[in-house]
Amino acid sequence: MNENRSTFTGKLGFVLTAAGSAVGLGNIWRFPYLAAKYGGGIFLLVYLILAVTFGFALMSAEIALGRKTGLSAIGAFRQLDKRFTWVGVLGAIVPFIITPYYSVIGGWVTKYFFAFVSGDAKASAGDAYFTDFIARPVEPILWFCIFIGLTALVVFLGVDKGIEKVSKFMMPVLVVLTLFVAIYSMCMPGAMEGVKYYLTPDFSKFSATTVLAAMGQLFYSMSLAMGIMITYGSYMKKDVNLESAVHQIEIFDTSIAFLAGMMIIPSVFAFSGGNEEALGKGPSLMFITLPKVFDSMAGGTIIGAVFFLLVLFAALTSSISLMETLVSILQDKLHWDRKVTTGAVLIFCILLGVPSSLGFGVWSGFSVANMSILDMFDFISNSVMMPVVAFMTCLVIGWIVGTKTITDEIELTGPFKSKKLFNVVIKYIAPVCIVLILVSSVLDVLGIAKI
């Protein structure tokens, strides 16, 4: 059944595709606002520690699981142990929650790109521009529909080689531009305070919620705990060194997130005088501070336009692979025609995305535990479902089928250098930490107890 499964040409092809899916709004939009909100340096430190332990172990496990079975999440878990098929199913549900709200943000990026192209750049630097925009009932929904419509169009026509070619060109440009903006914003008066905030951990700001937020971000940014890496692994050739591929994907993804933080956090300090409230802005951080940075730059309108175009591109490549995932999950199950399935997925995403968008305006009165509708979807997927999937993955691999199933697969191309670390993380550290953190932070968010 799997003989016809297409494979990546080699390691580079694999790493670039996996990194292309990993790098998206998670790195440029989500990471900086979380870092700003959860204490700067302490968040960064926790994130980095988690990336080289949890992130490494989980990504290796998922890719190896996919390559070993040649199947996507649901099938792969079924093959490991029939009783745990549901873990694959739960993981497969996650992208159904993420895609709609991801595309709402994608719509905001589209709007900003057009604002910069159409000479509205100056206005977009105004204090209330963003909050006014997202509070409108209709306009953000129109941009959301444009973004998701574009995504669906590509998925509808079939994702072809074109996207990969463009990514290879656009991704390096994005890195250079991010570096440039980061250096520029570090040089603004008052920005050094922000650099300090971002780089020096303040241990008094440490809490279970910090760890949970960092962990959720890690899963989100590296597309873990939702079956994606299992699917990619199933396309990976047996002679590719899995361990070093995982390292490369992680380094790439983390560097871009780090740079995005460097670009945004110091400039928040420069423009707000380091006031805490400005740091806690959440999802809107990128849209409020960056236009101000561009406004203060010579030639900022052009740089801003190019910047938002690249972010838009990174967002589109990610939303395309997200939607592609939804379509293939449904097709595997229901055997519908590809075009019909894409249409159904599009309608589903619009139905779920519209409330997320309205949650910042006419439906802002509706909130659970102080979260807007979009934040709520984000919390349920990233902070609840993905940790559960990650926990179960560790449990099944570490205790039910044995880590040897996975390490043997990784050792096909030579010794597995971090085998000890992998075993210890998967069997003990990860499951214990995930449970502790998940429970304490859910209680915290629901306001039941504060740890």
Chain residues that interact with ligand TRP, rule: CB under 6 A: 21-22, 24-27, 95, 98, 220-221, 223, 226, 228, 318, 321-322, 325
Nearest distance from residue 129's CB to ligand TRP, in Å? Answer: 24
Instruction: For residue 430, give every residue at least 6 positions away whose Cβ sits within 8 Å of its Cβ, in sequence order, or none.
Output: 53, 54, 57, 58, 390, 391, 394
177 residue type, one letter: L
Of 249 and 438, which CB lies nearer to ligand TRP in the complex structure? 249
Instruction: Please give the Cα distance from 143 to 151 (Å, whole number).
Output: 12
Q: How far is the CB of 438 from ligand TRP (least distance, A)?
A: 19
Beta carbon nearer to ligand TRP, 108 or 416: 108
Which is closer to ligand TRP, CB of 95 or CB of 300?
95
Q: Which residue is nearest to ligand TRP (CB)?
A: 26
State how far the Cα of 430 lies from the Cα of 292, in Å rounded to an integer. Answer: 41
Rg (CA), the chain: 21
* Cβ 415 to ligand TRP shortest distance, Å: 30
236's tokens = 């990976």
CB of 321 or CB of 407, closer to ligand TRP: 321
Per the structure block, which two tokens stand in for 5? Answer: 């499964």
Residue 436, exposed/middle/buried by CB under 10 A (0-12, 13-18, 19+)? middle
- Report the C-alpha gap between 203 and 2 in whole angstroms: 50
From residue 361, how far is each of 104, 337, 345, 394, 423 by CA, in Å?
14, 37, 25, 41, 48
Least gap, CB of 243 to ligand TRP (angstroms): 21
3-state SS assignment for residue 188: coil
Instruction: Kindly report the backbone phi and psi dihedral angles of residue 79, in degrees, each rounded to the nearest multiple of 5, phi listed first.
Output: -70, -35
User: At 371, is the secondary structure helix, strand, or coil?
Assistant: strand
Closest CB to ligand TRP among residues 88, 300 = 88
Task: Kindly tell me the sign of the dihedral angle through the C-alpha atoms of 365, 139, 171, 246.
Answer: positive
Alpha-carbon gap, residue 314 to 228, rounded angstroms: 17
Minimum Å gap between C-beta 180 and ligand TRP is 21
100 contacts 445 by C-beta, under 8 angstroms: no
Minimal distance, residue 396 CB to ligand TRP, in Å = 21
End-to-end Cα, the chain, rounded Å: 51
Tell me how far the alpha carbon of residue 330 is from its chain's centroid.
22
Tokens of 329: 């999950």
Q: Is 437 exposed, middle or buried (0-12, 13-18, 19+ CB in 10 A)?
A: buried
- Residue 72 or residue 403: which is nearer to ligand TRP going by CB? 72
**Shortest Å distance, C-beta 231 to ligand TRP:** 9
**In the bound complex, what is the minimum distance in angstroms from residue 31's beta carbon to ligand TRP?**
8
Measured from the CB atom, the residue of 235 and 363 that comes closer to ligand TRP is 235
